[in-house]
Amino acid sequence: MNESKVATLVYELIRDGLELDIHDPNLKDTPNRIAKMYCREWFKGVDKDFTDFKSFPNSEKYKQIIMSDRIHFTSICSHHFLPFTGLAWVSYIPHDTLIGASKMSRLVEHYSSRPQLQENLTHQVLNSLVG
């Protein structure tokens, strides 16, 4: 991502598109703040694969469901570029390997930090677990 270009385009949006006074003290650093928010927070998962999966041998042969519940997330709707929040429940039945419980919440966080639809978020998490 090009944070500088995002800031420039937000500046033009405010000045030319919305016709606001960009010299208003309340708007002074707004383009930079928005660019940082988009590039470093909301969209930090764009074009990145989830590589934080470390698995462990299932030496105890667990067969019951392992679940992490009420994982809070915030994402951006790809239709309107407005934030949406939710709670995710991630579970799996282990076979030969186990994953750390923290990985399930990191997986949700990773895929929620890109513009998308809630339905796509569900499939991305699922595909990462079974892929």
Sheet containing strand 66-77, edge to edge, reads 83-92, 66-77, 115-116
pLDDT in tens, 76-90: 999 999 999 999 999
Query: pLDDT tens digits for 21-72?
Result: 999 999 999 999 999 999 999 998 887 777 767 788 999 999 999 999 999 9
- What is the pLDDT at residue 131? 67
Domains annotated for the chain, with CATH where assigned, are 3-42 (no CATH), 55-130 (3.30.1130.10)
Q: What is the pTM of this model?
A: 0.80
